[in-house]
Structure 1
């Protein structure tokens, strides 16, 4: 009896599975789908949701070539088939073919976008296939004529034989030259109008872009209605960041909806549709007593914003394919601390800036670059700290750097304490004293963060004079 094994084919992702079959005088038994054993050998954990059977009364029944937007695991429960596949996906392998005879000892994993067909070689053949999505009426998908000359499938029973039975629909399928290849699943950027959303667009060109006015991710109904089957990667750049307003009665509700409820909804659909979900976290999930925060530090948020962000992290971590990018002191294309300091410097203002909070700046370009790296490199899923590199600084020190870059004296920025700054603010969120995040984990994946002061100099140079 052969051992369970998997062979690759000329069609990327199309895998032939050799199944051990236990037989005696009564018949045979096999483990047709065994998740743990098969995924250990490299079969994708594709999450089947439906099992279909096709009964073929007579030898010569021929079906296909059909291309669907889901993965399949095909086998036979009785009889034998000659099965053939054609790569119908956009790319260099479009039109590649592969064929094999399937009996009880063979199964084949068919990835999304690969055209599937077979010919029954025995009367009473039962063809079985697991799929990882439910069929729905409406969309049409690429199909190919069984007799296409380019594919040149070597059917064991000639298609013009009296034995062969083909449906009129399959006879009308187009030749390969007339087929529109299937596009890959898409990327969705949520919160596309924000600072990070705009940065992500540069690193993920062609992504679908939505904001809360198009997709309210805090609404379960809106999330459930979205066509998630069209996507493979979701980048959640939407967040509520008004940390002080979050301490108000109304702000608290909005903050929790955006930073905790919405990520929970996204985690749920990511699990259901096997999506990769990227979510952005915050240094505010920690109380700041440690001078350097590692990814596995216990949550200890001080205020409503940090509490909601921690809850969102917990929710996102429940979906298998997730990246949580924990960051701090974000600067991008929009209103931010550096722009404010540059404007004050240009206008001759000499501000007082807090000098008892310490951390590193994170430019949205760096956060987006890290996202691209994690996705493309196939880094292990989980939480990664992402900031620019360099020594931790206080807000006052960063303000002085900006003033110097704008031609002002560093001494023009005075120091103040967090307590003094917040004394007259009715609703004030407590800040972590130390916000610097350890970068060792993401550096181990091959990503080297750019120095914060170097990028600050480049960024300030792009700001127009006030």
Structure 2
């Protein structure tokens, strides 16, 4: 008999992510009523916001009808409408909990959240039993499914009604034993911009595993009109967007303006729509150029954007687009140094060749090495830090470009006095090329990132380490 008057309350189980909920059922002589799915209340109690897209009902005439064990690549919210069932769940996901078993009975006063890859099976204990399940994906023949035999000896499920005495489909009887089960893999991570400096650092940080894919523009152009169907996006859990148009000065030209907005704004908007529609976490890498550099303090994540030039404007628009994805990390960084042509390599080369450079001395910031950005992104994802904007640069006292150039000269055994500091205006004076405006203050406050548990490396230490190699 259904128990009335319970408090809405979650109960953890022996399987990670599998959560049983007590549901308040209100009844009298006429029957009963319950809120079977109440997003706001259940999320407040820790249930994932799993975005269901379909509601299914399974009706079973006879006691003992048994179905399963099926693991699908989507989440389920299962509850009973009438009758009572015995449920058995087996973790069929890759990982240390593979093979874990949990069993319980469900009546209308209980429901269970079944995460992607956990095998589910049900045996009816009363006639005319109906149970419903919300799922957050549509069935597809291209999806990866996994199955386990109901009589598997290692799972050793204690069925209330022996399997020899119940109604089971021939298909369910033919499922493999646990030793032969193909586990459900975790959702994939896709790194875009994989051939760039940051993309190469992300490849080192995330490794070459079956669960991580890398794509450059030739393999997946985010501005393509069919982006929404370019992948089976429900198989992805994370998209890291390291792709960007970064030619700051060329962006001020007619052709560069078009390319900058296409890659930095329109392309990000397409990714955000895909992330929102498919429950994907979008990691988007942004820039100090979204600010005009006029503040006399470090910029925080809550400061209003106010870009000076086309590049900064397109990056700011991309930030707004990325923020429309419910699950997003916008990582703002500055003065990026990676594998390839960069300021540090140029200064070291000039020092070695006997060239005495003129270097800007009225722009302030901190260097950020690409492996530090990759490390920070891994941290945000692994720690499941709150979604939102995070400043991510090297730490330490801010410096000018001229200061950093002199440090490069010192670290490579040269006289730092060979570096002459000049203002930004003087540096570009007389240039016939199109020059984009630069923020004079590119210092980003790192407090929020530190609160998440991440300690940024001092950029001068990283500089010394890079030059020592």
Scaled by the length of structure 1, the TM-score of the pair is 0.96
Query: Are residue 108 (structure 1) and residue 115 (structure 2) matched?
Result: no
Q: Who is 1:218 aligned against?
A: 223
1:410 to 416, 429, 439: 416
Query: Are residue 183 (structure 1) and residue 185 (structure 2) matched?
Result: yes
Query: Are residue 149 (structure 1) and residue 166 (structure 2) matched?
Result: no
Query: Are residue 327 (structure 1) and residue 351 (structure 2) matched?
Result: no
**Which secondary structure does the structure 2 equivalent of 1:109 belong to?**
strand
1:15-54 superposed matches below 5 A = 15-54=19-58
Q: Who is 2:257 aligned against?
A: 252
Instruction: Give the CA deviation at 1:122.
Output: 2.1
Query: Are residue 368 (structure 1) and residue 374 (structure 2) matched?
Result: yes
2:280 to 272, 275, 280: 275
Q: Distance in 2 between matches of 1:98 and 1:397?
A: 62
Q: Distance in 2 between matches of 1:12 and 1:62?
A: 24
1:372-383 superposed matches below 5 A = 372-383=378-389
CA shift digits 1:89-123 (9 cap, x unpaired)? 11222111111111111111101111011012222
Instruction: Give the CA deviation at 1:442.
Output: 1.2
Q: Distance in 2 between matches of 1:114 and 1:350?
A: 64
Is contact 1:215–1:223 with CA below 8 Å preserved after alignment? Answer: no
Instruction: Give the CA deviation at 1:452.
Output: 1.3
Q: Distance in 2 between matches of 1:295 and 1:362?
A: 17
1:385-404 superposed matches below 5 A = 385-404=391-410
Q: Distance in 1 between matches of 2:38 and 2:432?
A: 61
Change over 3 Å in CA distance of 1:401–1:183 after alignment to 2: same
Q: Distance in 2 between matches of 1:293 and 1:285?
A: 10
**Which secondary structure does the structure 2 equivalent of 1:160 belong to?**
helix
Query: Are residue 89 (structure 1) and residue 93 (structure 2) matched?
Result: yes
Instruction: Give the CA deviation at 1:213.
Output: 0.7
Instruction: Give the CA deviation at 1:265.
Output: 1.1
Q: Who is 2:75 aligned against?
A: 71
* Segments ≥4 residues shifted beyond 4 Å: none
Q: Who is 1:200 aligned against?
A: 202
**Which secondary structure does the structure 1 equivalent of 2:404 belong to?**
helix
Is contact 1:86–1:116 with CA below 8 Å preserved after alignment? Answer: yes
Q: Distance in 2 between matches of 1:123 and 1:380?
A: 46
Is contact 2:73–2:144 with CA below 8 Å preserved after alignment? Answer: no
Is contact 1:61–1:165 with CA below 8 Å preserved after alignment? Answer: yes
TM-align CA RMSD: 1.3
Is contact 1:260–1:315 with CA below 8 Å preserved after alignment? Answer: yes
**Which secondary structure does the structure 2 equivalent of 1:433 belong to?**
coil
Is contact 1:353–1:415 with CA below 8 Å preserved after alignment? Answer: yes
Is contact 1:216–1:223 with CA below 8 Å preserved after alignment? Answer: no
1:306 to 309, 312, 321: 312
Q: Distance in 1 between matches of 2:97 and 2:440?
A: 54
Instruction: Give the CA deviation at 1:378.
Output: 2.1
Of 413-422 and 426-435, the range deviating more from structure 2: 413-422
Number of residue pairs matched by the alignment: 460
Q: Which 5+ residue runs of structure 2 have no aligned equivalent? A: none
Q: Distance in 2 between matches of 1:4 and 1:257?
A: 48
Q: Who is 2:346 aligned against?
A: 340
Q: Distance in 1 between matches of 2:246 and 2:432?
A: 17
Q: Distance in 2 between matches of 1:101 and 1:453?
A: 60
Is contact 1:87–1:113 with CA below 8 Å preserved after alignment? Answer: yes
Is contact 1:217–1:223 with CA below 8 Å preserved after alignment? Answer: no
Scaled by the length of structure 2, the TM-score of the pair is 0.96
Q: Distance in 2 between matches of 1:435 and 1:345?
A: 26
Q: Who is 2:466 aligned against?
A: 459
CA shift digits 1:299-348 (9 cap, x unpaired)? 11000000000000111112121111111100011111111111111112
Instruction: Give the CA deviation at 1:408.
Output: 1.7
**Which secondary structure does the structure 1 equivalent of 2:247 belong to?**
coil
Q: Who is 2:445 aligned against?
A: 438
Q: Distance in 1 between matches of 2:159 and 2:364?
A: 71
Q: Distance in 1 between matches of 2:12 and 2:452?
A: 28
Q: Distance in 1 between matches of 2:178 and 2:383?
A: 33
Q: Distance in 1 between matches of 2:127 and 2:59?
A: 10
CA shift digits 1:227-251 (9 cap, x unpaired)? 2212111111111110000001000
Is contact 2:227–2:270 with CA below 8 Å preserved after alignment? Answer: no
Q: Which 5+ residue runs of structure 1 have no aligned equivalent? A: none
